[in-house]
Amino acid sequence: MYRICTRHLLHRTEQLLYNAALCNTRCFTNRNMLKLKERGMLQDIFPDNSSQEIIDLLNSGQQCVYAGFDPTAQSLHIGNLLVLVNLLHWQRAGQRVVALVGGATGLIGDPSGRTNERIALAPSSVNENSASIVENIRRIFNNHEQYFWKKGDKLHEIRIVNNYEWYSKLNAVDLVGQIGRHFRMGTMLSRQSVQSRLTSEGGMSFTEFCYQIFQAYDWLQLLQTHDCRFQVGGNDQMGNIMSGHDLISRLTKIKVYGLTLPLITSESGDKFGKSSGSAVWLDSRKTSPFQLYQFFIRVKDSDVGKLLKLFSFEPPGTIDEFVQKHQTKPELRIAQKKLAEQVTLLVHGEEGLHSALQSSATLYEGSLESLGKLNTSELSHLFEGATVCELLLEPGTTLLDLALRAKCFATEGDARRIISAGGFYINQQRATNIDEVLSTTTHILPNNVSLVRVGGEVKEGFGNQINLCRDRGLNLGPPAQKSDTLPLDHQIVEYSSELDSVKRKVTHQSLDYRNKLGFDNFLVLMLDIQGGFAAEQQFVVALFDILIHLHLMLTTN
């Protein structure tokens, strides 16, 4: 039998007090959350004839809504961001918001929207992923309140819970005996997520089949402890939402409601955020602020208005006016820039947006001033996919020395010929004198970076990045992979920046291989000049050891 627990009564008391305060203020947005349909953020409700009930309940006072996030990866992605933005709209309306992290259900795997079973994760991985996802959620909600909430009143703080808290205290007999008896096999088998898998070659495991029971029980728990009467999720979650509604209806007389969000697709029908074959993540360690910014800069004119309504907090009418203004000069991409700035600020804050804008100015506007302000992390993201090695600037180093040590050319003869012919650039300036000595004032930017290019056109990727970091550590990236998501004159390549040269296989890309693919040699040279030109003997030995180790790895793998 369902019992209202002490925490439930406390939340009801809190709600009454909050509603009394709400009567004296107009500092929140419209509490009718069904108006989110005007922004394209609402697809269906359940029960499907409950629109007026929902409006009346929302207008009667503060309510609680939740959405769940299973820790199946180290970060949330763009699809999850739409759910978070939806929750933020609830928070802006003065409602209480709960984010549920599936520390238990992440071990099971949600079959919704999948054609095959998820790979089982180790408990340690689920715990690590859960911690990262909690950080994602808190950062985004904090950024929203700091940069987007302008109405004055403090927002009701989001509550983040982990369903492992209650499942760790519930044994299998109690779950099956007390909860499982309220589910009917015919109903469970009729769910779309089950039907699509039963007819597939791989079928469906019992573990996945039971997932809907766990998500239903989650909602019951949140109703008991947080008086949570609303659940939101992607449109693939309707079956799980219906299961939760059915369970609560059998055990209580309290009405609850589910709302689903649409699946976002581009004009071409690709799933938004995955058209390039990999997700766009909300963690800077997996997708940098620059990459996130550029992802939204590249959206089509036909999609940008829709995405502004989904991912920004401007009123729909204001967005329509902005899009009309954009259409007068679409080549300026002002709507895309607005969208990219809004999303990057929400996800990564002011510092992340500044980094993205600075990196964009460096890459696409040819700004040496911006390049000179980039730090090591920003450079590695901006020119990622490049092979990283280590050099020491010595007295009397010439352009020819630099070109050869950086492996810009296959042979010294090629170097002499191409440099003399005007095919070699430092900081976007043609350099033709092979005997010219590198100068710390002429050839090196304020952050100890020199931009070196071979050929007539800059094409990022399949090049070298020579990194002389102050800690003099050696990082060697994996082979670059060509990206099809950018214009051909600006190729960005994705790879993990967390490298361990001892554990990972290191593969060298020869200049010949790059040339066969049609890419010019492109590199960034970071020169450590802080300690002068004289290298300490101890460092020379250490560098020699590293190079020997590198050579052995290259020849044995």
- The pLDDT, as a whole number, for residue 68 is 96
Instruction: State the average pLDDT over residues 173-186.
Output: 79
pLDDT of residue 390: 58
Q: Which residue has the higher pLDDT, 462 or 227?
A: 227
Q: Phi and psi for 407 in degrees, rounded to 5?
A: 60, 40
- CB contact burial 33-60 (16+ within 10 A = b; e otherwise): bebbeebbbbeebbeeebeeebeebbee
Which pLDDT score, from 0 to 100, does residue 30 have? 76
CA 9 vs CA 4, 150, 235, 555: distances in Å: 7, 32, 32, 69
Q: What is the pLDDT of residues 433-452, one digit of tens each?
A: 999 998 877 887 787 777 77
Q: Tokens at residue 523, please?
A: 């590199």
CB 137 within 8 A of CB 69: yes
How many residues would you count in the chain?
Answer: 557
DSSP class of residue 447? T
Q: For residue range 231-265, list pLDDT tens digits in order.
A: 999 988 898 999 999 999 999 989 999 999 998 87
Q: What's the token pair of residue 468?
A: 């002389």
In this model, does residue 363 exceed pLDDT 60? yes
Q: How far apart are alpha carbons 433 and 437 in whole angstroms?
A: 9
Mean pLDDT of all residues in 457-475: 30
- Yes or no: say if 508 and 387 are a contact pair by the CB < 8 Å rule: yes
Q: Is 464 helix (H, G, I), strand (E, B) or coil?
A: strand
pLDDT, tens digit, for every residue of 336-345?
A: 999 999 999 9
- Is the bond preceding residue 47 a cis peptide, omega within 30 degrees? yes
Cα distance between residue 31 and residue 57, in whole Å: 10
Q: What is the pTM of this model?
A: 0.70
pLDDT above 80: residue 388: no
The percentage of the chain sitting over the pLDDT mark of 90, rounded to a whole number, equals 40
Token look-up 């920046």 returns 497
According to DSSP, the β-strands at 257-261 and 429-430 are unpaired
Residue pLDDT, tens place only, 108-140: 887 776 666 777 789 999 999 999 999 999 999
**For 153-182, what is the mean pLDDT?**
88
Averaged pLDDT of the chain: 75
Of 321 and 342, more confident: 342
Beta carbons within 8 Å of 232's beta carbon, 6+ residues apart: 65, 66, 67, 83, 86, 87, 90, 258, 259, 260, 261
Q: How far, CA to CA in Å, does 288 sit from each of 46, 283, 340, 351, 498?
A: 37, 7, 13, 12, 13
Domains in the chain, start-ordered, CATH in brackets?
26-263 (3.40.50.620), 288-365 (1.10.240.10), 379-471 (3.10.290.10)
- pLDDT of 310 higher than 50: yes
* Type and span of the H or E element at 251: helix 238-251
User: Is residue 527 predicted with pLDDT exceeding 90?
Assistant: no
Higher-confidence residue: 335 or 383?
Answer: 335
Within 116-229, strands assigned E span 159-162
pLDDT for 115: 66
Rounded to the nearest 5 degrees, what angle is found at the Cα of 269, between the Cα atoms of 264 and 273?
50
Measured distance CA(151)–CA(29) in Å, rounded: 9
Residue 116's pLDDT is 65
End-to-end CA distance of the chain, in Å?
64
**Residue 27 — pLDDT band, cuts 50, 70, 90?**
low
What is the per-residue pLDDT for 14?
53
As a whole number, mean pLDDT of residues 527-550 equals 30
Angle between helices 211-226 and 238-251 (to 10 degrees): 60
Of the candidates 377, 363, 310, the one whose C-alpha atom is nearest the C-alpha of residue 486 is 363
pLDDT at 471: 28
* CA angle, residues 455, 388, 340, in degrees to nearest 5: 75
* pLDDT on residue 547: 31
* Residue 540 pLDDT: 30
- Flag the least confident range among 324-328, 398-402, 426-430: 426-430
**Mean pLDDT lowest among 40-49, 83-92, 349-358, 419-428:** 419-428
Given this model, what pLDDT does residue 190 score?
77
> Average pLDDT for residues 287-301, to the nearest whole number?
92
Task: Give the integer Cα–Cα distance in Å for 348 and 144.
Answer: 10
CA–CA separation, 102 and 69 (whole Å):
6
pLDDT at 366: 66
Structure-token pair, residue 126 = 């689920």
Nearest partner of 310 among 228, 230, 234, 231, judged by Cα: 234
Q: What is the pLDDT of residue 383?
A: 67
Helix axes 289-297, 334-364, angle to 10 degrees: 130
pLDDT of residue 187: 76
Alpha-carbon distance of 488 to 490, in angstroms, equals: 5
Mean pLDDT of 171-187: 79
Q: Is the pLDDT of residue 158 over 70?
A: yes
Residue 537: what pLDDT? 29
What's the pLDDT score for residue 424? 87
Minimum mean pLDDT among 97-101, 254-258, 529-533: which range?
Answer: 529-533
Lowest mean pLDDT among 45-49, 133-137, 231-235, 536-540: 536-540
DSSP 397-436: -BHHHHHHHTT-SSSHHHHHHHHHTT-EEETTEE---TTP
Q: What is the pLDDT of residue 277?
A: 54
Q: Which of 215-229, 364-378, 523-537 has the highest mean pLDDT?
A: 215-229
The amino acid present at 478, given as its one-letter code, is: P
Q: Pick the closest to residue 463 from 485, 486, 479 (CA basis).
A: 479
The pLDDT assigned to 474 comes to: 28
Query: What is the C-alpha to C-alpha distance for residues 548 and 542, in angstroms, rounded to an integer?
Result: 10
C-beta atoms surrounding 486 within 10 Å: 16
Of 144-148, 184-188, 275-279, 318-322, where does the model show the most confidence? 144-148
- Calpha distance 243→213 (Å, rounded): 7
Q: What percent of the chain has pLDDT over 70?
A: 71
